[in-house]
Structure 1
Amino acid sequence: MLIERVETFAVAPRWLFVRIQTDDGIVGWGEASLEGNSGVVRTAVEQFAEYLLGQDASRIEDHWQVLTKSGFYRGGPVFASAVSGIDQALWDIAGKALGVPVHRLLGGAVRDRIRAYGWVGGDDPSEVGDHIAAQMAVGLTAVKMNASGRMSRNGSVAELDAVVARVAAAREVLGPDRDVAVDLHGRFTLATARRLAPLLEPLHPFFIEEPVAPENSHLIAEFARSTSIPIATGERLYSRQEFLPVIQGGIAIAQPDLSHAGGISEVRRIAALAETFDVQLAPHCPLGPIALAACLQVGFATPNYLIQEQSIGIHYNQGAEVLDYVADTEPLKFVDGNFELLTGPGLGIEIDEAAVRAADTIGNNWRTPLWRHSDGSFAEW
């Protein structure tokens, strides 16, 4: 089962798919999406393919070790995303070769379903209610919302009041039996985040996400000491080594992205690390169907798995939708706000290859928005 072909596909709205084919005709799919940087990750995958061609596809761990460590300059989101897509595709091949879902190869299922949450927009409280109602209509029991748009460096009374009003509107619609998570998106300084958290505590957020920018992860412990709200972070951390300080700092929920943090292989190790600190796993995934399927495969075999983010029907997917690239949408449908156990071989979904190849002829050119403060200086998006 030798690797015969490695291809990449840049597809709308902002995703990069990896296709690996073996000499006996088995095809595995992975997702190396690094939003806004498809071109550079595509080049990294092509460079890694120079090593992969002719190699035994079943040696997943050995390939992971070589691809992550054989270069003198290692790590970072570009290399990690390229490895993630390759790793997912190799696990997909392994499952298909044996006729079993990947979670069987990871030790078997520890649960029958995984709770899902969706993202909601809305710039004022009345819009928040409408957006949440739409998510509830498809069966979801949990949502996540941005705390704010652009946030000044030392948040004003008006800015903080607006955050509280929007979360309060969400809580009113959701009631006490559903959950709302609040994403600070790294837009807040530590001081502003610490001022906000006590104001949100009476509304009982499911978690506060990314209270500080990832390069300020050394401040997580100080923030954790200031609030009783569970803290989540990790979408911009790319390895066990980068997760260790925030886990030690007191986060409650680790959020590795399976398309950024080394794929299935590394996220399983991050999950085990987290479990030793009583930290739950809730992977970041506002991405495509392959990344989502990879998350679910890990989730079905991981004891400390809390909930799964997904972007089915999300408003910012312009040009294509998550399910546009799968031949059969049934495995990824919601059942009472959950994803049911995936039973198909490999990642458990069938990619519509014709749709992917057609989309690649158009490509994607999504870029991270550029925001500025009122004084003209750079602002966190």
Structure 2
Amino acid sequence: MKITNIRVTHVNVPFDAPFWWTGGLYPGASKSIIEVETDEGVVGLGEAPWYHFGEVIKSEIAPALIGADPLDIADCESRCVPPWQITANTGEGAASVAFGAVEVALWDIRGKVFGLPLFKLLGGAVRKQIKFSEYFSFRPEHNGAGGEMTAEAIVDYCQRMQEEHGSTIFEGKLILGDPELEIRTVRLLRERLGEKAQIKLDSNMQYSLTTARWLLRELEPFNIRNYEDPVATFEEMAALRQHSIIPFSTHVPDLKRAVALGAPDNFVCNFAALGGISKTLKFIAACEAMGKGFWCYSNDLGIMTAAYLHVSAATPLITESSQSLFRWQVGDVIKNGPFRQTNDVVTVPEGPGLGVELDPDAIRHWASEFEKNGPMSHFHDPANPKHHRTLPLN
């Protein structure tokens, strides 16, 4: 079997309403969908975390892989990714991330060739119901959706998710530059959702160490399950650890520093960003050996989410809920997408490989949105493209 072509399609899939994060309003996902075609008619699906990695795939990865054996992942990687000494010296890791997106498709091909779901290729399922959190944030109203711009509105939204979908796990960004508003919102969440609900928070590194010390002291009575990136650096998290028992997580996959400093406690990562599924499994094993937790990223479409489902099914360490923005996604590129949780869980697909199929009409539609509008900015108000909002760092 040989790789004959790698197709890259850029897509825009917006949320029903944008949400506030440290960079401003976040309107949705601009992704690259990867189709690795073979001479035997088997096609593998992958997903790049941002569209510019798709450009790297088109210009660098695809030419290197034409004619390669898709089942020989090590050979494929050696054709595309420079030795670590080179990337360490140059700081250029785009090839690793771009290949990581393609590598997901190679695993999909492998599963289809052997007629097995990915989780069986990875050793079998230790669970088939995979936990995901609901998400909350301050969101302006947009075409009848969103409108959660007060503490009370966010709590009403979460309580509705609890009542309509059986949700008990909630994660969110309370990022308007006002830590007192965050404290008030969390207090109301705990009162209304009850003691058994999990509450996780994420500040996207918005707080200074001084503010974070005070903030986490005030939040501690509300039994916060995890706080992602409360401050900007691992060193500051290590200092903050001296003042708080709340666990910390990060998207920055620097395990050596986390072990040396004692913080953060958990990593939350996209598989392509780690270099693919194979490297993700090695990273997770290292986390387990070093006493660190791991779960999966949010804001991915159905292909990468399927990879999360299979790896989580086959990995005993992933016991915490992964992040999810499923409820806000207005569409997907896969048939029957997007995934959405009921009673906190999504069932792992049982079909061969990733167990998902592209929806041709959907991918054409979302590709046309990218072609018409270009990539969605995550740093501006989409209703006022010339306006850039910088949130105050307290």
Q: Is the 8 A contact 1:128 1:169 kept in 2?
A: no
- Establish whether residue 250 from structure 1 lines up as the match of residue 276 from structure 2: no
**How far apart in 2 are the matches of 1:76 and 1:124?**
41
Judge conservation of contact 1:125–1:166 (CA < 8 Å) in 2: yes
**Paired amino acid for 2:130:** I
Instruction: Confirm whether residue 124 of structure 1 aligns to residue 150 of structure 2.
Output: yes
Aligned position for 1:340:
347
Q: Which residue of 1 aligns with 2:283?
A: 270
Distance 1:77 1:144 in 2: 29
1:2 and 2:12 aligned: no
Q: Which one of the candidate residues 280, 297, 300 is aligned to 1:284?
A: 297
Q: Extract unaligned runs of 5+ from structure 2.
A: 14-29, 138-147, 382-388
- 1:22 and 2:38 are equivalent in the alignment: yes
Tell me if structure 2 keeps the 8 A contact 1:254–1:280.
yes
1:160 aligns with 2:142: no
- Find the aligned partners of 2:363 and 2:221 in 1 and give their Cα distance: 46
Are 1:81 and 2:97 counterparts? Answer: yes
Identity %: 25
Question: In structure 2, how many angstroms separate the alpha carbons of the residues matched to 1:143 and 1:176?
Answer: 13
Match of 2:322 in 1: 308
Q: CA deviation at 1:76?
A: 5.2
Change (3 A) 1:377 1:353: closer
Once the two structures are superposed, the pairs formed by residues 353-372 of structure 1 within 5 Å of their partners are 353-363=360-370, 364-370=374-380
| Cα pair distance change 1:26/1:229, threshold 3 Å | same
- Does residue 102 in structure 1 map to residue 118 in structure 2? yes
Q: 1:79 offset after TM fit, Å? A: 3.1
Answer whether contact 2:46 2:104 (CA < 8 A) is retained: yes
8 Å Cα contact 2:47-2:303 kept in structure 1:
yes
Match of 1:187 in 2: 206
Query: Contact 2:327–2:340 (CA<8 Å) still a contact in 1?
Result: no
Residue identity matched to 1:348: G
Residue type at the aligned position of 1:208? Y
Q: Which runs of structure 2 are paired with 1:193-208 in the superposition (5 Å)?
A: 193-208=212-227
Alignment-mate amino acid for residue 67 of structure 1: C
1:230 aligns with 2:264: no
SS at match of 1:206: strand
The answer to whether the 8 Å contact 1:61/1:265 transfers is: no
AA matched with 1:369: F
Q: Is the 8 A contact 1:292 1:310 kept in 2?
A: no
Cα shift at 1:140? 2.2
1:52 corresponds to 2:68: no
Cα deviation, 1:171-198, whole Å, max 9, x if unaligned, reads 1222111111010111112222222111
Paired amino acid for 1:246: A
Give the 5 Å matches for 1:215-226. Answer: 216-226=233-243
- Matches of 1:30 and 1:217, distance apart in 2: 31
Segments of 5+ residues of structure 1 without an aligned counterpart are 152-158
SS of the residue corresponding to residue 366 of structure 1 reads coil
Using the size of structure 2 for normalisation, the TM-score is: 0.82
Aligned to 1:43: 55
State the match for 1:148 in structure 2: 175
Determine the structure 2 residue equivalent to 1:156: none
Following TM superposition, by how much is the alpha carbon of 1:370 offset from its aligned partner in structure 2, in angstroms? 4.9
Distance of 1:50 and 1:160 partners within structure 2: 50
Q: Which amino acid aligns with 2:73?
A: I
Counterpart position of 1:326 = 334
How many residue pairs end up in the alignment?
350
Deviations 1:240-284 (A, max 9, x none): xx2331244233321111232222122211111111122221111
Q: Partners of 1:79 and 1:367 in 2: how far apart?
A: 23
Give the whole-Å Cα distance in 1 for the aligned partners of 2:201 and 2:391.
Answer: 23
On the 8 A contact 2:49/2:270 being kept in 1, the answer is no
Deviations 1:298-348 (A, max 9, x none): 10111110212122121xx4xx42xx3222359x45342211232111112
